[in-house]
């Protein structure tokens, strides 16, 4: 957990960047069926950025005029103490968090209006609709969580986004910790892989490792032999000889910081010559993009570098035809690599995606309209301390390879017949997909791969598979 001194420094930096009071909401517990049966609590990311272990339902008013922070907490009641355990009183919480004031959240609307004294108060929408409604009531704003254009005032987004985008050493340390847990989970899944094991069992092993370290999955684990389904959340298959297992899973700890890692390995423990060749191309693209990381480099160029290496490999394999630069220009590479090479990561696995592209695409840059590159979630120039994923892949997707519009658009740039062999491979089940994903911090002169301890060399992976 980041120290109080660090969190106070972050709050102080935020106060320096805003000109009007800002109300942040932690959000409350969200029921999973009847009101008293709630989903595990997870505070809003902007709140977690400033407060360790936030209480459900809390809020905070940042006032730049007197540089004060008022924390709003639920009143302590005897009933709560009975059912949920006693929590420290307001004076203790004020000292613990190092804030100027603590007030009851039950009086949030009146307190915010009294403290604002007529000044405009800004706020940011959160996933909990009740908390967002309360923030709107207290501030008169009309923010909405599900509409990135209405999630907050643009100046507030830039004020907080500018802080969150460059990780402090304490924040990087949180991410290094989740990387260690994520490594154990990936290695355990590889070690327990055998023909005949179910995806569900391996998925349980991954989540179990996270839980044993006090972590949760930062997003729904993807563990599938159908790796070509990019966000596959089903675990219904039994592993068979010839299958490639794709695991995309990362741990999130109590601070909210997380990992996002993908590895792909053969169910049998040995890559076929063809799967090994695809694996080597993906690994070369991943390493090539990581090798290009340094301050000032445009993230989009990392995407294009990975795409270029993939295109060269796909030409060698007879899956694309022509000059790699021409293939990138036309977008033919996206038939096999239909997504962006990665995204910001931090306290959100897709960091600050709540704000749409407001942080990830700086002024003057907009999304490409080309298939594939349109899914690139980040187009900033890299800064030291920025953290992001690098995650190229090659997939054999029936919905793409069978699409007549793509066949017409890319014509003989794609080896359609060769690709069909991959769709028919593996006893008709299809090849699936291979992705390799690491979390990377830009340093003063290069890259730190936060998740470097997770096996990805082909021989290393093969040695781990089935070793439990
Ligand atoms: N795990 C989702 C992603 O890699 O972006
Ligand atoms: Mn990712
Ligand atoms: Mn991922």
Cα 78 to averaged position of ligand 1 atoms, centre (Å): 43
Mean pLDDT of 214-235: 95
> What is residue 204's three-state secondary structure?
helix
Mean pLDDT of 68-86: 94
Question: Residues lining ligand 1, CB < 6 A?
Answer: 219, 248, 260, 343, 391, 437
| Average pLDDT along the chain | 97
**CA dihedral over 226, 227, 230, 236, signed as positive or negative:** positive
Cα 116 to averaged position of ligand 3 atoms, centre (Å): 42
The pick from 178, 203, 229, 260 for probing ligand 1's pocket by mutation, whose C-beta has the most ligand atoms within 8 angstroms, reads 260
Cα–Cα dist 310/303, whole Å? 11
Q: Is residue 233 pLDDT above 90, yes or no?
A: no
| Residue 434 pLDDT class (50, 70, 90 cuts) | very high
Q: Is residue 180 pLDDT above 90, yes or no?
A: yes
Cα–Cα dist 216/251, whole Å? 6
pLDDT, residue 228, reads 93
Closest atom of ligand 1 to 377 CA is: 5
Cα–Cα dist 126/42, whole Å? 11
Indicate the CATH number for domain 4-164: 3.40.350.10
pLDDT, residue 375, reads 96
Domain ranges (residues) in the chain: 4-164, 169-464
Minimum CA distance residue for ligand 1 atom 3: 260
Cα 260 to averaged position of ligand 3 atoms, centre (Å): 5
| Cβ neighbours of 16 (radius 10 Å) | 11
Label residue 144 exposed, middle or buried (CB < 10 Å: 0-12, 13-18, 19+): middle
| Residue 132 pLDDT class (50, 70, 90 cuts) | very high
pLDDT, residue 360, reads 98
Closest atom of ligand 1 to 222 CA is: 1
Q: Is residue 453 pLDDT above 90, yes or no?
A: yes
Q: Is residue 262 pLDDT above 90, yes or no?
A: yes
Q: Are 418 and 335 in contact (CB under 8 A)?
A: no
Equal fold, 4-164 vs 169-464: no
Cα 176 to averaged position of ligand 2 atoms, centre (Å): 16
Identify the nearest ligand to the CA of 439 by its number: 2
Mean pLDDT of 107-133: 97
| Residue 84 pLDDT class (50, 70, 90 cuts) | confident
pLDDT digits (tens, 9 = 90+) for 277-332: 999 999 999 999 999 999 999 999 999 999 999 999 999 999 999 999 999 999 99
Identify the nearest ligand to the CA of 220 by its number: 1
Label residue 77 exposed, middle or buried (CB < 10 Å: 0-12, 13-18, 19+): exposed
Cα–Cα dist 354/125, whole Å? 9
The pick from 223, 345, 389, 436 for probing ligand 1's pocket by mutation, whose C-beta has the most ligand atoms within 8 angstroms, reads 389
Cα–Cα dist 179/170, whole Å? 14
Cα 261 to averaged position of ligand 3 atoms, centre (Å): 5
Identify the nearest ligand to the CA of 345 by its number: 2
pLDDT digits (tens, 9 = 90+) for 15-42: 999 999 999 999 999 999 999 999 999 9
Q: 265-281 burial by CB neighbour count: b if 16+ within 10 A, else e?
A: bbbbbebbeebeebbeb
Which residues fall inside 5 Å of ion ligand 3, going by CB?
248, 260, 437
Cα 8 to averaged position of ligand 1 atoms, centre (Å): 31
Of 355, 433, 353, 435, the C-alpha closest to 388 is: 353
Q: Are 458 and 276 in contact (CB under 8 A)?
A: yes
pLDDT digits (tens, 9 = 90+) for 349-403: 999 999 999 999 999 999 999 999 999 999 999 999 999 999 999 999 999 999 9
Q: What is the DSSP letter of 148?
A: G
Cα 342 to averaged position of ligand 2 atoms, centre (Å): 6
Cα 260 to averaged position of ligand 1 atoms, centre (Å): 6
Closest atom of ligand 1 to 435 CA is: 4
Which H/E stretch holds residue 97? Answer: helix 90-97
pLDDT, residue 191, reads 98
Contacts of 73 (CB under 8 A, 6+ apart): 55, 57, 58, 90, 93, 102, 103, 104, 105
How many whole angstroms from its chain centre is CA 62?
27
Could you tell me whether strands 22-25 and 122-123 are parallel, antiparallel, or unpaired per DSSP bridges? parallel
Closest atom of ligand 1 to 350 CA is: 5
Contacts of 135 (CB under 8 A, 6+ apart): 23, 25, 59, 123, 124, 125, 126, 141, 143
The pick from 206, 217, 248 for probing ligand 1's pocket by mutation, whose C-beta has the most ligand atoms within 8 angstroms, reads 248
DSSP assignment of 400-421: HHT-HHHHHHHGGGB-HHHHHH
Cα 468 to averaged position of ligand 2 atoms, centre (Å): 27
169-464: CATH topology is: Creatine Amidinohydrolase (3.90.230)
Percentage of residues of the chain with pLDDT beyond 70? 100
Mean pLDDT of 74-90: 93
């Amino acid at each position: 957990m980041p120290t109080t001194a660090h969190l106070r420094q972050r709050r102080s930096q935020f106060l320096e960047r805003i000109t009007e009071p800002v109300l942040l909401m932690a959000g409350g517990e969200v029921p999973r069926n009847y009101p008293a049966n709630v989903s595990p609590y997870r505070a809003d990311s902007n709140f977690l950025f400033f407060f360790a272990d936030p209480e459900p339902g809390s809020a905070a008013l940042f006032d730049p005029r007197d540089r004060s922070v008022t924390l709003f907490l639920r009143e302590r009641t005897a009933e709560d103490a009975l059912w949920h355990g006693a929590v420290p009183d307001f004076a203790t919480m004020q000292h613990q968090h190092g804030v100027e004031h603590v007030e009851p959240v039950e009086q949030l609307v009146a307190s915010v209006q009294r403290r604002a004294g007529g000044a405009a108060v800004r706020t940011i929408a959160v996933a909990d609709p009740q908390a967002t409604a309360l923030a709107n009531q207290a501030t008169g704003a009309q923010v909405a969580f599900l509409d990135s254009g209405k999630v907050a005032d643009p100046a507030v987004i830039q004020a907080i986004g500018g802080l969150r985008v460059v990780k402090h050493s304490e924040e990087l340390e949180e991410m290094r910790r989740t990387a260690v847990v994520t490594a154990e989970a990936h290695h355990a899944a590889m070690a327990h892989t055998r023909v005949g094991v179910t995806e569900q069992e391996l998925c349980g092993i991954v989540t179990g490792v996270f839980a044993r370290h006090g972590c949760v999955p930062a997003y729904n684990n993807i563990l599938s032999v159908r790796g070509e389904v990019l966000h596959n959340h089903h675990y219904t298959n039994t592993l068979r000889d010839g299958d490639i297992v794709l695991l995309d899973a990362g741990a999130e700890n109590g601070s909210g910081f997380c990992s996002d890692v993908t590895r792909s390995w053969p169910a049998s423990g040995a890559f076929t010559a063809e799967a090994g060749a695809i694996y080597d191309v993906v690994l070369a693209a991943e390493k090539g993009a990581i090798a290009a990381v340094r301050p000032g480099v445009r993230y989009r160029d990392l995407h294009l570098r990975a795409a270029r290496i993939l295109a060269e490999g796909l030409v060698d394999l007879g899956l694309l035809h022509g000059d790699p630069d021409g293939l990138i220009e036309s977008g033919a590479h996206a038939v096999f690599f239909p997504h962006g090479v990665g995204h910001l990561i931090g306290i959100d696995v897709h960091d600050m995606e709540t704000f749409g592209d407001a942080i990830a695409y700086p002024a003057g840059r907009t999304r490409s309209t080309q298939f594939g590159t349109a899914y690139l979630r980040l187009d900033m120039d890299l800064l030291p301390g920025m953290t992001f994923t690098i995650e190229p892949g090659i997939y054999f997707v029936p919905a793409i390879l069978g699409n007549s519009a793509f066949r017409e658009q890319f014509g003989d740039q794609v080896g359609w017949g060769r690709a069909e062999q991959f769709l028919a491979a593996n006893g008709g089940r299809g090849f699936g997909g291979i992705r390799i994903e690491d979390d990377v911090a830009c340093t003063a002169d290069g890259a730190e791969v936060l998740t470097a301890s997770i096996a990805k060399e082909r021989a290393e992976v093969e040695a781990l598979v089935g070793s439990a």
